[in-house]
Amino acid sequence: MRIGVIGGGLMGSGIAEVCARAGVDVTVVEADAAGAERAQERIEKSLDRGARSGKLSGEQRQAAAERLAYSTTVDDIAGADAAIEAIIENEGAKRELFKRLDAVLPDAEFLASNTSSVPIMKLGAGTSKPERVLGLHFFNPVPVLPLVEVVRSIMTGEEALARARSFAQDTLGKVCIDSQDRAGFVVNALLFPYLNDAVRMLEAPTRLGEGGERKAVPGGDRLVVAERLRAELTLLEEPLRELRLELASKDESAVLERLQQLRGHALLRRPREREPLDTVRVGILRRGEAAFRKQELPE
């Protein structure tokens, strides 16, 4: 199998590396020669780290490097079985690229985007075969994190979706979850409300006075609040990692059970005495559960 990866930055180089390590021939396309050289250096350094850590043998490292080619023109991926786009998060640039991929790869099994923000439907709308356009959202660092969100738009066909999922899951060994073509997909839909609450809390911090009334926290106390928030986020890493694993299992009952367990977590339940961090705690699980329930779980 041969794949074209357009964009050799942090995500594109990671995607290209895992494809090559899985036995797939890869052509990495960058905007210019300097970008292609940087992509090659980044991938080779990562392969070297894998070899030093014992995750790759010397032969495996060399074989992966030999499966990689680098180019500065999309025309060089002509004849590839599929393409994965990983360029800058600019809707106009992505839409133009997908029009070009549509012309260069008329027989490709699927055209995927690694976007985390641009609607997949908009990318497919400018192509002659929108049914083969979908999202494959990897997570950084790609060689380490197993999760991939498989995103379908209202125009994505079942055949392309099944082929892309099989490629990510069976060929690359990733854990796939299905997502609707909606803002944030699954993971970011859970993450960003949490972060937004944290930002609002720091913008307008409050604390209880002796009589229970709310009082503004002086500017100097913001660092204290921020440090407490950092500590709480650190303590939440493990339960939230467990939640991600449950999401990956595609077992709705297990996910809802995990959400119920998290609802009772000391750092997330509403405390009897309200504190400055209430803004972060209150509502996060409701939003997470609502975001998850909106997803169409696969059979």
Residues 130 and 124: their CA atoms lie apart, in Å, by 4
Stretches where the chain sits below pLDDT 50 are 207-210, 212-214, 217-220, 266-282, 285, 295-299
Other CB atoms within a 10 A radius of the CB of residue 282 amount to 15
Which candidate in 44, 71, 131, 188 is catalytic? 188
149 is catalytic: yes
188 is catalytic: yes
pLDDT in tens, 162-211: 999 999 999 999 999 988 888 767 777 677 766 676 666 665 555 444 45
Cα 56 to Cα 9: distance, rounded to the nearest angstrom: 22
Q: Is 137 designated active site? A: yes
Q: So what's the pLDDT on residue 2?
A: 97
pLDDT for residue 228: 59
Among this protein's residues, is 114 annotated catalytic? no
User: Helix crossing, 222-249 with 187-203: angle to 10°?
Assistant: 170
DSSP character for 75?
Answer: G
Catalytic choice (137, 153, 179, 246): 137
**What are the angstrom distances between the C-alpha of 74 and each of 4, 38, 42, 192, 256?**
9, 18, 20, 34, 44
Q: How far apart are the first and last CA of the chain?
A: 28
In this structure, what DSSP letter does residue 220 have? Answer: G
Q: Give the Cα separation of 116 and 263 in Å (integer).
A: 27
Number of residues that this document lists for the chain: 299
C-alpha R_g of the chain: 22
Angle, helix 58-66 to helix 10-21, in steps of 10 degrees: 110
Q: Which residue of the set 149, 153, 179, 246 is catalytic? A: 149
Look at residue 71 and give its three-state secondary structure.
strand
CB 84 within 8 A of CB 3: yes
- Residue-level pLDDT at 246: 60
**Angle between the 187-203 and 284-293 helix axes, to the nearest 10 degrees?**
160
Tell me the domains of the chain and their CATH numbers: 2-180 (3.40.50.720), 187-293 (no CATH)
Please give the angle made by the CA atoms of 17, 22 and 28, to the nearest 5 degrees: 35
Q: In the structure, how many helices (H) and strands (E) does the chain have?
A: 11, 10
Write out pLDDT tens, residues 127-166: 999 999 999 999 989 999 999 999 999 999 999 999 999 9
Please, which residues bridge with residue 84 across strands? Answer: 5, 112
* Structural contact between residues 139 and 161, judged by C-beta atoms closer than 8 angstroms: no
